[in-house]
Structures are given as C-alpha cells and as structure tokens.
C-alpha cells in the first residue's frame, strides 16, 4: 500500500505542481489580457477621438474650401447678383448638388434670407441661424453643426459672395446622418453616434449603430460626462464610451465594444486553456506511467529487502534496467551476498573451533540444549595423553596440526545428530544422542580403536592415546555443564589410572581429592595470594658473601599447608597453567628485589623458567617490561633453565635466549649434568652460569668419581668463562670441598634453607656477622 | 496738395471771375483724414448739358489704378491692361453690369457708364482686385487726397446739393443743400469709413522664384 501511495504521491506532486504553475500562468495571462484590453480600449478610444476630431476638422476645411470655390464661381456669383428668385434657386440647387450640399441658402448682407432650397418662398424671412452669420461677419466665414427645420443635423458652412465686395452670404448644409456616422466609424474604428441633448432629453440624430442598441443609447447617455471615457453596458455587451461635443448643441458618442476588443485575446485564451488541459491530461498519464515504472522496481526491491531481513539470502535480486534503481538492485544483491558470507563467517567464529574446524564449546552446549529433555544422551570428554609432551618436544605448530588431524579422525566416528567439539587445548567433547551406557561403552572402544592407528605428520609417525570420561544424561545430570564437568572428572580418573575410559556414574558424586580440579585451585590460589616465594641464599665461598639467592615458589595451601613446587609445578607445566604462574612469579620476585635494593641490599635472584615459558614468545618482553618498570638493571636477575627445557625446541629456545642475553639478563643452566647436553653445545649458548645438579654434589665427599666430575665441570666451566654454582651442599665438609675446588657459589641446606623474603635481610646480616666472628 | 491741383484751381479762378471753389476736408469721427472720398455737388436747378468724357481705369501690377473713379453719367471708361497677363474685369452692380472677358492690352471698346450709381469692379482672375466707380449726374465732383482734401473749382454760384460717398462708408452722410457764392468756401465733413482690408494676393510668378 505504501508503494502504491508512493506511486500516486509522485503523480500527485507532479500534476499538482503543473496545475499550480498552469493556473498561475493562466491567471497572469488573463489579468494581463484584461489590462491590455483595458489599455487598448483607452488607447483606441483616445486615438479614435483624435482621428474623429481630425476628420471633422478636415471635413470642415474641405467643406469650407468647396463652399469658397463655389462662392467664387463666376456664373454662381452672376446668378446671385441678378436677385432673381427662380434663377437664384436653380443655381443654388445646381451648384449645391456639385459639392453635395443638401441645404443651400442665400442671405443678403442685411441678414435676410433671399433664397432657400428647402422652401420655395424664402424671401424676406430672416436667416434661421443668425449666430453663424455673426461669426462669419467677423471671421469671413463660419462653420457649425446645426439642426435644421427638417430635424436633420447639418454641418453648415456660411461663406460670403464677393463681387468683389460682399453682395450676399451663401449657407451650405451637409447632412450629418447615418451614412456620415458609418463613414466616420470606418475611419476611426469606433462606433459613432450623434445626439442632441438638453437637460431633459437626449435625441439620437445619427448613428452607426443599429437595432436595439441604437434605441437604448440615449437613455444610457444621461449619466455620461463630456470627454471622460466610461464603460456602458447594453444588455450583455459593454462599450467604452466617450462623449465629445459636436457643435454647440450636439454631441458625438464614440464607442468601442469591449467584447470586440477582447475577441482576439479570448480566442488566444481559449486556445491556451485547451493546451493547458491537454498538457495536464498528458502529464497525468505520463506521471502515472512514470511513477509506476519507478514504484514497480522499488516494490520488487522492497520484497527482496524483506526476504533478506527475514534471513533468506538465497533469492538473488532480480535484474532491473541499468538506471539508478537498477544500480540499487545490483548494490542490494551485493549486500545480500555480503551479508550471507559474513553471517556464515560469524556463525563459524561463534560456533566453530578455528584450529580443527570442529564445533566449539558454545556450539556443543547449544546443540545439547536443543536435544529433547528427558531423552537419553551421553557426553564424553577426551583428553589426549602425552600431548603436552608432544607439544613441548615438537613445538606448537606441530601440536596444532596434530590436533587438526586428530579432530578429523574423531569427526568420522560421530554421525549426526551426534557432535564432536574441541573444548580447549587437547580436550575434545562428544555428544551422543540417545546413547545409554552400553552404547557409550561401545563408543569408548571405537574411539580407542580409532586412536590406536598412528598419526602421520611430515613423515613422522606419532602415537597418540587418550583418556575418556563419559557422563550419561539423565543419570549423571540434566544440563550440559554438569554433564561436562562430571565427564571431565571421569576423564581425569581414567588418565590417572591409565585405564582408557571411566564412566562418571562409576566414580560417584565426589571427585578424588588430589585431582580436585587442581587447575581451578591453582587459579584461585593466584587470586587469593596463596603462592609465596622463598629465597635460598647462595654463598660465595671465597669471600663468604651472599650476593645471590634462588627464588623458590611455594603454595601455602589452606588445607594441606605449604606445598613444594614438585607437588604442583609439573602438573601446571603439563596443563599449561605454568604460563599464568611464571609471569606472576617474575613480577613478584622482581618487585621484591627492587624493594631490597631500595633498602640497600643487593641480591640477584635466580628464577626457574620452564620449557613452556622459554618457548613463550612473550617471555622476553615480560622480563624487559618488569625490570624496566622496577628500575632494575637487566643483569639484576638470573633465569635458570633446565637442559631438557632447551632440548624441546632448540632453535626457538636459542632465539629467545639470545634476545634475553642481548638485553642483559643473566642466564643459568639448571641441573647441569642430569641431561645429555654437552659443554660443546652449551658453549654456543649465551649462558653465564652452570648449576651443577645436586645429585653430583651430595656425593662429592663419598664418591671420588662424582668429585672428579664436579672438579672437571668447574674447570671446564671456568675455561668457558662461565660461573659455576653448586647446589645441594648439605654439610660443612661439602662446603669446604667446594670452596677448595674453586666453585664460585654454593647453595644448600648446609648454608641455609629457603626462607620467606622477610627473613632474608636479617639472615644475611646475621650470617655476615657470624662470618666476621 | 499737388502742384497740379494748385495750378488747376488757379487757372479756374482766373477763367471765370464768377466761378467759385469749394474746398472740403473729410475725416473720420476719430479725426483721421479720409482718402478716396467722393465730394459731389449736384445743381438743384438744371443740370449742365452733358459733354463727352473719357476716363481710364488701368490694371497695373494686378491691381486697379485708381481705386476710386468718379465720372459723369455717360462717360466711357477704358480698362487698359498694363500687366503681362490677362484680366477679366466685371461688375455685377446694377448701375452698370458688364464683363470684359480675359483680355490683354486695351479692350477695343470702352465701357459707357450711362446710369448714375456706384459700380463695384472686380477681376474674375484676381479676387483681391477691386475698384469703384461712382457715376454721378453732375460735372462738379472731386475725390479726397491722401490728406483727405478735395477741391471743387469753377463751380458756378448757385444752390447745390452736397453729397459725400465712399466705397467703404458705413452709411452715406445725408446730403444737404449749400449755396455756392462768389468766394471760395471751405468745409469740414466727418465720414465713418471702414479701414481698407486688402484681400490676400496670389504671389506673382517672379515672387514664386
Ligand atoms: Cu485681373
């Protein structure tokens, strides 16, 4: 409906505008025409009046000339001079006819009528228009319009007859009749009427009008003033009327018909009206068609947009003519494709694990939630065995690729509506719709069989095992989170017991104490500051001074008391949680070192770094930032790295070590001698210190073999420019032996046990004092 | 007064001791001298026998010369045309109607003015031309000069009717009788005379170029 109204709105707006413009134009044309007609009427009337006056004046001159010529005619004069009535009358008629005078009279100089063509016996009567004679006597001749006895108006000309002195006057009358009026009407273009009017009545004497208007004219003239144009109406016809004096007792009425003057404009206006009407009709039709052409495609596009809005991206936008709307359609289609692609991508990101292409945890939970309540289902959690080691040994890229192919193989054993998801790390989850314990058990066997075949990666054969925990719905829980947690616990048990798979129902409600989500506990421990750092001082036996100490992480467990690193660090390393612990440890130790320095105690702490930490590309930056933040010199700390940590990814480890050494951080090789690293290999590393494994130190006194190894190691280390540290010195004999062997630093219970940071300054002070004693 | 007139008057007085002279001065009521007024003495008893007389009114420079001519009844007047063009002299006056159609030079026959009265002369070709002839039944008459004076000489003593006339007079003064004695008499006369109006002339050919 909206689009229909758009279509009509377009038409209505355009047609409305056109009508408005046309109406304005017509109004202006009409008004302008009225003004033009009015102006033209006035102009025509005044021009006509001027022409009329000229013609009248010209007529008068012509008549006077004719009369003068006649009066000078010798025979005429001769005849007048005879004083013989019949002769005079006949000459009057004869000569009068020559110039078209209807009335001819001869008057003697005394003013007496001698002869008159109107009456036979004119003699001795007086001349009927004495005023004319009076004028002629002073001016030589005179002319005026006079109504004569017959009621007819005449233009009278009175001229003298000279022989050579005045012997008589001859008066000639030219009739002012309808023919006169018609002639003048043709010359002036106006209607001409002659009236004689006094106070009481107006009589029409001559007119170019005919019929009713002729009869109606006198009555209309009563209101008319001389020389002022006025519009008079005769029935339905209107006349611009001007009254001019004609002689002393008559007036001439000049008229111009308004309708006649308007006629050309009327026909023009009518033509204009038809054109306007035709234009509006054509425009209405045109704009309806045009708006339909616009609204149609818009309609189609709207339908497409609505489908897109509803999430249906399948229908392509119809191809439209290549105008603006066509371009809009093309854009809309691109938008549709773009939205479809992006939605696909977002869905992938939201529901897909990018590493394996499997479903992620969100998708897994959602899928489970969609399954009908109460129907049986099983959730299985698989954690790959030894994956951490593979990852540590071969590097993350290999580990990631391994996860990818494992995922592929796992996906093959679950048919829809079942689902495989990667929860995180090397942990996978399976949703088995409608599975009971038997089905789940068979699935576990299938899974193990599937994993038993080795995976080939870059030509290497990798054996990957896994531990599986299975929780059943509804027995073990109703919601996905509960089921997942229980399956996870079962999986941990299976892993610990190395028994392939465990059913959650088999381990009861309470998970085993030790594995009580150790990761969660560690995370809480970090938050609750249950981790503490103890420091074990290292003694320089040649000087008896304490310049360094090993920072050792302890867990002050609320229930189990102080836990040593060996009880949780391997697990943290295996689960990757070490990545959260090490930054905390670095920050904590560096801050403590900085505080001691501020107090005047310069201690270089050694911090243990795992293989995972060393391979972490952020380690170097973390060290750099922390030392800089606490204004500690780069060689203010020492990082202890085990030989095995170096072996996992020697290239990456070397790169990171080089970066650290370049920065200035001291690097120590921990537990030297327990691994296979040769000194020749160590020589290529930017290492400052060798820490001989305590198993050698513990037996230097008892075993001459070990003593020889330690001695040669110290010598070789010194030869390579390395500082050699011994740990595990428990007795003063050990200490004495080590001092004599030239060991640079000694650490062990024989000197001090690890102690809280707060106790170290006091202990050092006491130790120094003891030494001086 | 011209010398000729003086001589004539002197001669007349010498010729007849009995004869006398009458000098008249004519003026308008405003006191302006009137030219071309006719002063006529008609003997109350007996008119002297007529004598053959001739007069001439010339057409010169498309005008009549003179303007006023006074003649005794029976006088033959010639109308010599001194212009290089033709004239058509006419009169419609009852005292003498005549017409000399287009002529040049002197017409063969003079016109005899055989009835007393005034005659207005015109030319049919030149409307402005006008002249007047007063035909009187007495030999005693005179025409006033530019100064308004007229001298009637050799008038025998006796009783006379004195008449005045002018072509443009508004009314002829009433005639009255006077006694002419042996001595010259002088007379003042007032006449109401309209000023002469010259009608417009056509320009001559020469004037046209
Ligand atoms: Cu002439």
Which pLDDT belongs to residue B108? Answer: 81
Asked if A163 and B90 come within 8 Å (Cβ–Cβ), the reply is: yes
| B20-47+139-195, CATH topology level | Immunoglobulin-like (2.60.40)
DSSP B85-141: S-EEEEE--TT--EEEEEE-S--SSPEEE-S-EEEEEEESS-TT-EEEEEEESSSEE
Asked if A163 and B127 come within 8 Å (Cβ–Cβ), the reply is: no
- The nearest alpha carbon in chain A to B93 belongs to A81
Find the mean pLDDT for residues A59-63: 86
Which one has a higher pLDDT value, A698 or A658?
A: A658
**DSSP secondary structure letter of residue A566:** G
Indicate the average pLDDT of chain A.
83
Asked if B92 and A162 come within 8 Å (Cβ–Cβ), the reply is: no
Q: Which long-range contacts (CB under 8 A, 24 or more apart) does A707-710 make?
A: A707/A737, A709/A673, A710/A738, A710/A741, A710/A743
Nearest to B130 among A78, A81, A165 (CB): A165
Domains present along chain A, CATH in parentheses: 39-272 (3.30.450.20), 361-505 (3.30.70.270), 536-772 (3.20.20.450)
Closest chain B C-alpha to A249 CA, distance in angstroms: 33
Closest chain B C-alpha to A125 CA, distance in angstroms: 23
How many angstroms separate the alpha carbon of residue B20 from the centre of ligand 1?
41
Does A600 score more than 60 pLDDT? yes
Q: How many CB pairs under 8 A join A and B?
A: 27
Find the mean pLDDT for residues B51-57: 88
A338 contact partners, CB below 8 Å, separation of at least 6: none
Domain range annotation of chain B: 20-47+139-195, 49-137
Distances (CA, A) of A205 to A147, A151, A253: 9, 8, 11
Q: What is the CATH number of domain B49-137?
A: 2.60.40.420
Closest chain A C-alpha to B97 CA, distance in angstroms: 10
Whole-angstrom distance, CA of residue B107 vs CA of residue B66: 18
Cross-strand pairs, B183: none
Which residues in chain A have Cβ-Cβ distances shorter than 8 Å to B170? none
Which pLDDT belongs to residue A231? Answer: 81
Which residues in chain A have Cβ-Cβ distances shorter than 8 Å to B199? 164
Which one has a higher pLDDT value, A287 or A754?
A: A754
Which pLDDT belongs to residue B3? Answer: 42
Q: Which of A625, A628, A596, A622 is nearest to A609 (CA)?
A: A622
| Lowest-confidence region among A170-184, A339-353, A512-526, B170-184 | A512-526
Which pLDDT belongs to residue A628? Answer: 92
Which pLDDT belongs to residue B13? Answer: 44
How many angstroms separate the alpha carbon of residue B123 from the centre of ligand 1?
4
How many angstroms separate the alpha carbon of residue B89 from the centre of ligand 1?
6
Q: Which residue has the tokens 């102690």?
A: A755
Query: What is the per-residue pLDDT across A389-423, written as a single tens digit (0 to 9) for each?
Result: 677 667 778 888 888 888 888 888 887 788 899 88
Which one has a higher pLDDT value, A124 or A246?
A: A246
Sheet architecture: strand order including B75-78: B54-56, B75-78, B111-113
Domains B20-47+139-195 and B49-137 in one fold: yes
Q: Tokens at residue A539, please?
A: 């003694």
How many angstroms separate the alpha carbon of residue A168 from the centre of ligand 1?
22
Whole-angstrom distance, CA of residue A713 vs CA of residue A726: 11
Which pLDDT belongs to residue A56? Answer: 86
Which pLDDT belongs to residue B28? Answer: 92
Closest chain B C-alpha to A81 CA, distance in angstroms: 6
């Amino acid at each position: 409906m909206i689009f229909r109204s758009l279509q009509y709105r377009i038409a209505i707006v355009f047609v409305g505008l056109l009508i408005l413009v046309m109406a304005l134009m017509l109004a202006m044309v009409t008004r302008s025409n009225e003004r033009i007609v009015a102006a033209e009427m006035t102009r025509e009337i005044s021009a006509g009046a001027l022409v009329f006056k000229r013609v009248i004046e010209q007529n008068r001159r012509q008549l006077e000339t004719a009369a003068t010529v006649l009066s000078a005619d010798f025979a005429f004069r001769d005849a007048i001079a005879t004083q013989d009535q019949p002769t005079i009358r006949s000459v009057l008629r004869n000569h009068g006819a020559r110039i078209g005078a209807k009335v001819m009279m001869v008057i003697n100089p005394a003013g007496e009528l001698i002869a008159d063509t109107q009456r036979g016996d004119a003699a001795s009567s007086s001349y009927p228009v004495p005023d004319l004679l009076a004028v002629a006597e002073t001016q030589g001749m005179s002319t005026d319009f006079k109504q004569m006895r017959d009621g007819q108006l005449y233009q009278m000309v009175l001229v003298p007859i000279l022989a050579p002195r005045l012997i008589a006057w001859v008066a000639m009358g030219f009739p002012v009749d309808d023919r006169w009026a018609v002639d003048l009407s043709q010359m002036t273009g106006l209607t001409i009427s002659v009236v004689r009017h006094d106070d009481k009545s107006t009589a029409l004497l001559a007119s170019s009008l005919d019929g009713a208007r002729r009869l109606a004219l006198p009555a209309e003239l009563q209101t008319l003033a001389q020389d002022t144009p006025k519009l008079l109406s005769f029935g339905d016809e209107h006349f611009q009327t001007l009254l001019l004096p004609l002689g002393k007792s008559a007036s001439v009425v000049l008229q111009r018909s308004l309708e006649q003057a308007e006629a050309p404009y009327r026909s023009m206006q009518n033509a204009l009206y038809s054109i306007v009407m035709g234009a509006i009709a054509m425009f209405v039709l045109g704009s309806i068609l045009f708006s339909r052409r616009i609204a149609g495609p818009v309609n189609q596009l709207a339908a497409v947009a609505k489908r897109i809005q509803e999430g249906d991206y399948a229908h392509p936008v119809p191809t439209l003519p290549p105008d603006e709307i066509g371009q809009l359609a093309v854009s809309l289609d691109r938008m549709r494709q773009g939205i479809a692609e992006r939605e696909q991508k977002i869905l992938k990101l939201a529901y897909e694990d990018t590493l394996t292409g499997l479903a992620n945890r969100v998708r897994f939970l959602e899928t489970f939630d969609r399954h009908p309540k109460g129907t049986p289902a099983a959730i299985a959690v698989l954690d790959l065995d030894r994956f951490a080691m593979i990852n540590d040994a071969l590097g993350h890229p290999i580990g990631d690729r391994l996860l990818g192919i494992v995922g592929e193989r796992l996906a093959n054993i679950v048919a829809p509506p079942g689902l495989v998801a990667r929860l995180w790390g090397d942990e996978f989850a399976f949703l088995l719709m409608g599975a009971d314990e038997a089905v789940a058990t068979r699935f576990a066997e299938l899974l193990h069989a599937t994993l038993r075949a080795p995976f080939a990666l870059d030509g290497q054969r990798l054996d990957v095992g896994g531990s599986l925990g299975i929780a059943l719905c509804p027995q073990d829980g109703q919601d996905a989170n509960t089921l997942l947690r229980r399956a996870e616990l079962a999986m941990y048990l299976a892993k610990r017991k190395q028994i392939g798979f465990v059913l959650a129902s088999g381990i009861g409600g309470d998970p085993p104490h030790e594995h009580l989500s150790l990761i969660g506990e560690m995370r809480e421990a970090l938050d609750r500051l249950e981790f503490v750092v103890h420091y074990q001082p290292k003694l320089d036996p040649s000087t008896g001074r304490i310049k360094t100490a090993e920072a050792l992480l302890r867990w002050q467990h609320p229930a189990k008391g102080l836990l040593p690193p060996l009880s949780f660090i391997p697990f943290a390393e295996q689960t990757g949680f070490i990545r959260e612990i090490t930054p905390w440890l670095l920050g904590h130790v560096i801050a403590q070192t900085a505080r001691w320095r501020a107090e005047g105690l310069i201690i270089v702490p050694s911090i243990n770094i795992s293989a995972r930490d060393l391979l972490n590309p952020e380690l170097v930056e973390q060290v750099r930032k922390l030392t800089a933040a606490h204004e500690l010199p780069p060689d203010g700390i020492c990082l202890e790295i085990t030989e095995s940590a170096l072996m996992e990814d020697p290239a990456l480890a070397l790169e990171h070590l080089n970066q650290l050494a370049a920065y200035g951080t001291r690097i120590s090789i921990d537990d030297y001698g327990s691994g296979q690293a040769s000194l020749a290999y160590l020589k290529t590393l930017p290492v400052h210190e060798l820490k001989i494994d305590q198993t050698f130190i513990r037996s230097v006194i008892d075993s001459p073999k070990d003593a020889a190894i330690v001695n040669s190691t110290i010598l070789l280390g010194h030869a390579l420019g390395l500082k050699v540290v011994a740990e595990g010195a428990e007795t003063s004999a050990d200490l004495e032996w080590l001092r004599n062997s030239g060991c640079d630093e000694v650490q062990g219970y024989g000197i001090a046990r690890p102690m809280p940071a707060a106790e170290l300054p006091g202990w050092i002070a006491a130790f120094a004092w003891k030494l001086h004693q | 007064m011209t010398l000729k007139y003086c001589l004539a008057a002197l001669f007349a007085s010498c010729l007849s001791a009995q004869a006398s002279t009458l000098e008249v001065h004519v003026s308008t009521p405003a006191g302006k001298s009137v030219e071309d007024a006719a002063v006529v003495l008609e003997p109350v008893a007996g008119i002297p026998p007529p004598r053959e007389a001739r007069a001439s009114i010339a057409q010169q420079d498309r005008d009549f010369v003179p303007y006023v001519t006074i003649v005794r009844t029976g006088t033959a007047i010639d109308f010599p045309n001194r212009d290089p063009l033709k004239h058509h002299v006419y009169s419609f006056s009852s005292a003498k109607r005549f017409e000399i159609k287009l002529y040049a030079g002197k017409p063969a026959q003079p016109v005899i003015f055989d009835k007393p009265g005034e005659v207005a002369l015109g030319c049919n070709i030149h409307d402005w031309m006008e002249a007047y002839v007063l035909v009187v039944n007495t030999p005693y008459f005179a025409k006033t000069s530019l100064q308004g004076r007229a001298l009637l000489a050799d008038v025998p003593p006796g009783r006379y009717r004195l008449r005045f006339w002018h072509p443009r007079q508004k009314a002829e003064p009433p005639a009255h009788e006077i006694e002419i004695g042996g001595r010259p008499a002088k007379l003042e006369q007032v006449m109401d005379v309209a000023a002469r109006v010259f009608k417009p002339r056509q320009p001559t050919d020469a004037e046209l170029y």
